[in-house]
Structure 1
Amino acid sequence: MRAHSGAPPSRRRFLALSAGGTAAGAAALSGCALQVAGSVSGGGGESVTMMTADGDIDPVLIPQAEKDLGIKITRIKMDITRLIAMLTSGRPPDLVRGIGAMDTPYFAARGVAENLDPYFAKSTILKADDLDPVNDLWRYDGKVQGKGPRYGMAKDFSQDSMYWYNTALFDKAGVDYPPETEPVTYEEWLETAKRLTQRRNGQTTVFGGSYNGTGITINLVALTAAAGGNLFTDDYSRVDFTSPEARKALTWYVNYAKARVGPSLIDPDPNAWDGPTYVANRMAMSNSGYWLGGMINAETKLAEVSRLAPAPMFEGGARVSSCQSGTGLWMPKKAPNKDAAWRVFEWFFGEGPAKSRAEAGWGIPTLKSLRPLMPHQEDYQKRVLKAQEDELKHFSVISFTPYVKVDALDAITNQIIPEAMKGQISIDTLAGRLDSAMNRQMKLGKGLVS
């Protein structure tokens, strides 16, 4: 890998940032010379700019943090186009939102992310032995995730192949509950979903089960790992959907869509995601992981009949229960106020915001010392917590490619896979088309960083 100079990253290095080198990436770069509105000036380490999404930080916590830390915190909304502009102009935010499972290799390989190991080594708030293993998604050694320097940290997480289920809907359909600590097979899960699906006058009134993960590509990566393989080649420069394991994963997901037991590209959920549908008692199972508990806990009657089950496994495959997101923050190498940014980083991940997230049940805390704050007062919460604690034993990091953003791969899959879901093309044809289109993007991406 090429050594990086102290200069800002060239525009060429980011041609693939938004859409794998497509027109969207080029369009994003058209704004690189624009003034960066909303950034705060450096000097004295007293001001920090955070680029985050709505909902990442409770706004009421910021004034108190500014008072306690003596640091001005300015939040600007996460925008990939604007981020490219700021990075390439050499004036980036101090902290940036990222999805550890997919973003870490991408930004580390391009030399724009700061190695945070020296900061962690000195911290009395974020101690290495207190970090949950999920934070290894934010490590990258130049080849794979889970090893090497830390480039960020997850704010909370779920094992996203775990699924919630509504016992009242199981009872109504006369279906036995899944085991609480032993996984069913994916084949069994799909058969159960078929039995739980309710239709009236040709319309689905209750989805038997949703199994889309946090995104279509990362879900297929996780399914392939569960089948005992890797969707990527050993050097992560290509995908291979024709391998037996990837083909098994692809076949299962296409069959899930064909069965119309849950939302898919050919049968979309009007709510656009599982949360509102599950809360409305119109979805019997949802593989949203522990994170959805924050929403479920707000509805006492629903929470009392909801359970959390282990991630399924393929017959003969490994028991794999990964995190498909690990959303958190990273620090650009050219951040103007690194010491102040680190203090805000500590606050966000180890103090007020972290404690609030843990208490609400919106994800598992990424500091082990905060786990006692997870909701456990009610019997149904204790039951969920027991299932989740047992599942933590089966967590593992699954590496993603550094050569292209997941959005570009999702766009390809979204365009091609519906034909297979409708039975218009075979799995073999689908695998070949996905390989061809994705590998063209990845080859371009590799050329930009190697």
Structure 2
Amino acid sequence: MRSQAGAPVSRRRFLALSAAGAAAGAASLSGCALQVSTGVSGSGETVTMMVKADDLSPDLVKQAKKDTGITIRRVDYDITKLIAMLTSGNPPDLVRAVGATDAAYFAARDVMEELDPYFAKSSVLEVDDLDPVNDLWRYDGRTQGKGARYGMAKDFSQDSMYWYNTAAFDKKGVDHPSESEPATFEEWLENAKRLVQRSKGQTTVSGGSYNGLTKLTLMATMTASAGGSLFSDDFSRVDFTTPEARKALAWYIDYCRLKVGPSAIQPDPNGWDGPTYQAGRLAMSNTGYWMGGLIGADKKLAQVSRLAPAPVFAGGPRISACQGGTGLWMPRKAKNKDAAWRIFEWFFGEAPARARASSGWGIPSLKSLRSLMPHQTDYQKRTLTAQQNELKHFSVVSLTPYITGDAFESLYNQVTPAAMKGEMSVDTLAGRLNSVINEQLKRGKEQVG
């Protein structure tokens, strides 16, 4: 897998990435700083981090200097600039990415530093303390979830879980879903149909939203929930015509056709579920624990909100995956690796990590920090109980390294609207998706070489 030391990274490895861009991910890396006294390694040095504007606040940059003695130079995340820096041999020291969709993609292109030796020596980030979600950042040259570690999630959600508003259920006389036992996808959709409210041809309250973080992760996790895999054994092809993948695709197209919630043919004007759910215009929201930070800040909303397990297909396995896992990785050609690792430890295991864990905006990726998750109010206690029960059902759903989340999304959104409008059968759609996506996967595999 690894190139010889000093060899330049081939630009052709990034042709598809340059065209499509890397998946950005929904979760922010930001958090408030808490002072921690630690030993300092790399004091006086500068570490360049390529992240988004809200990933690293100016206050956190100051806190890093105070805690570690290291100066952070933040540059805006830009995929074109990242490719140029990687191919010129002058990359940032740390780069943000989404574990689920990006880790295997970059690892297959041989630009990520293997971090196992760093973890082995660290007293801050111990392997036994890593939540299994961090396996999203592992890749063995073939399968995501196995092999070397190339990064770490800053926190996470099990993104197939959903929130529901009990007031919306009560208004329509619909029984509340269980907070411990999963509903079937069929039951979820039936509830959404009963919960939707319309007036004069307009939807005033959507019955439910179920779109996943990306269509790549949504289709892969739903196919796994049906008992199959969206990909061939070598991850070089998709097949939407298998019974399991077709079941997932048919369910989602049915959801779109019924117009019970937002989709490509009925987009949410807010761009995401948060404001719509907060306004009482969305009865169920497939966003996972992550959105609990928003809900918890609104006492009235918190009183009527519940977190429910990821749905299952009747007869299928109980799968509750993370579709994000946003975090950081270190380029193999980074110039300041020891100082970068010190910032990595600080960011994922010290002040920022503790602040994030206590915020309610994500599950900490270190098991030792779970005790900091909010658990004071009745709302927090209920949410935490539901989430802790769901953690037992986490598993990594491996994705292909041959296409970005953005490229998959673009192709999916080009082909599916006709089926969502009832103008194309699911079987015809499955064939067309296979054709356009497999063409991209073939090119991606050729570029990895």
Q: Which stretch shifts more, 5-14 or 71-80?
A: 5-14
Aligned to 1:416: 415
Q: Is the 1:45–1:338 Cα contact (8 Å) retained in structure 2?
A: no
CA distance in structure 2 between the partners assigned to 1:2 and 1:368 by the alignment = 31
Displacement after TM superposition at 1:44 (Å):
8.2
Q: Is the 1:45–1:337 Cα contact (8 Å) retained in structure 2?
A: no
Matches within 5 A, 1:221-232: 221-232=220-231
The question of 1:277 aligning with 2:276 is answered yes
CA distance in structure 2 between the partners assigned to 1:204 and 1:81 by the alignment = 40
Specify the code of the residue in structure 1 equivalent to 2:79. Answer: I
Q: Which string of whole-angstrom CA distances, capped at 9 and with x for unpartnered residues, describes residues 321-374 of structure 1?
A: 000010000000011100000000011101111111111111100001111111
Displacement after TM superposition at 1:6 (Å):
2.5
User: TM-score normalized by structure 1?
Assistant: 0.93
The question of 1:19 aligning with 2:15 is answered no
Aligned to 1:69: 68
Change (3 A) 1:366 1:127: same
CA distance in structure 2 between the partners assigned to 1:189 and 1:443 by the alignment = 36
Aligned to 1:29: none
Matches within 5 A, 1:282-361: 282-361=281-360
User: TM-score normalized by structure 2?
Assistant: 0.94
CA distance in structure 2 between the partners assigned to 1:55 and 1:247 by the alignment = 38
Displacement after TM superposition at 1:55 (Å):
2.3
Displacement after TM superposition at 1:180 (Å):
1.2
Q: Is the 1:18–1:405 Cα contact (8 Å) retained in structure 2?
A: no
Specify the code of the residue in structure 2 equivalent to 1:10. Answer: S
Q: Which stretch shifts more, 55-64 or 141-150?
A: 55-64
The question of 1:114 aligning with 2:113 is answered yes
Displacement after TM superposition at 1:85 (Å):
1.0
Cα root mean square deviation, aligned: 1.4
Q: Which string of whole-angstrom CA distances, capped at 9 and with x for unpartnered residues, describes residues 206-230 of structure 1?
A: 1110000101121011110100111
Displacement after TM superposition at 1:57 (Å):
2.6
3-state SS, counterpart of residue 76 of structure 1: strand
Q: Which stretch shifts more, 49-58 or 177-186?
A: 49-58
Percent identity (aligned): 69
Q: Is the 1:2–1:449 Cα contact (8 Å) retained in structure 2?
A: no
Change (3 A) 1:340 1:178: same
CA distance in structure 1 between the partners assigned to 2:204 and 2:221 by the alignment = 29
CA distance in structure 1 between the partners assigned to 2:273 and 2:18 by the alignment = 26
Aligned to 2:385: 386
Q: Which string of whole-angstrom CA distances, capped at 9 and with x for unpartnered residues, describes residues 150-197 of structure 1?
A: 000000100000000111111111111001100000000000011111
Q: Is the 1:45–1:340 Cα contact (8 Å) retained in structure 2?
A: no
3-state SS, counterpart of residue 416 of structure 2: helix
Aligned to 2:144: 145
Tell me the number of residue pairs that the alignment of Structure 1 and Structure 2 aligns. 430
Q: Which string of whole-angstrom CA distances, capped at 9 and with x for unpartnered residues, describes residues 401-435 of structure 1?
A: 11121211110000000000001111111011100
Displacement after TM superposition at 1:387 (Å):
0.3
Displacement after TM superposition at 1:393 (Å):
0.3
CA distance in structure 2 between the partners assigned to 1:276 and 1:329 by the alignment = 28
Displacement after TM superposition at 1:7 (Å):
2.1
Matches within 5 A, 1:43-442: 46-442=45-441
Q: Is the 2:135–2:146 Cα contact (8 Å) retained in structure 1?
A: yes
Q: Which string of whole-angstrom CA distances, capped at 9 and with x for unpartnered residues, describes residues 297-337 of structure 1?
A: 11111011111000000011110000001000000001110
3-state SS, counterpart of residue 224 of structure 2: helix
Aligned to 1:28: none
Q: Is the 2:296–2:379 Cα contact (8 Å) retained in structure 1?
A: no
Displacement after TM superposition at 1:12 (Å):
1.1
3-state SS, counterpart of residue 394 of structure 1: coil
3-state SS, counterpart of residue 414 of structure 2: helix
Q: Which string of whole-angstrom CA distances, capped at 9 and with x for unpartnered residues, describes residues 258-317 of structure 1?
A: 111110000000001011111111111001000001111111110111110000000111
CA distance in structure 2 between the partners assigned to 1:121 and 1:70 by the alignment = 23
CA distance in structure 2 between the partners assigned to 1:429 and 1:54 by the alignment = 42
For structure 1, list consecutive stretches of 5 or more residues without a partner in the other structure: 26-42
Q: Which stretch shifts more, 55-64 or 177-186?
A: 55-64
Moved over 6 A (4+): none
Specify the code of the residue in structure 2 equivalent to 1:380. Answer: Y
CA distance in structure 1 between the partners assigned to 2:448 and 2:124 by the alignment = 35
CA distance in structure 1 between the partners assigned to 2:370 and 2:57 by the alignment = 20
Specify the code of the residue in structure 2 equivalent to 1:152. Answer: G
CA distance in structure 2 between the partners assigned to 1:355 and 1:282 by the alignment = 33
CA distance in structure 2 between the partners assigned to 1:112 and 1:2 by the alignment = 8
For structure 2, list consecutive stretches of 5 or more residues without a partner in the other structure: 23-41
Q: Is the 2:61–2:71 Cα contact (8 Å) retained in structure 1?
A: no
Q: Is the 1:226–1:314 Cα contact (8 Å) retained in structure 2?
A: yes
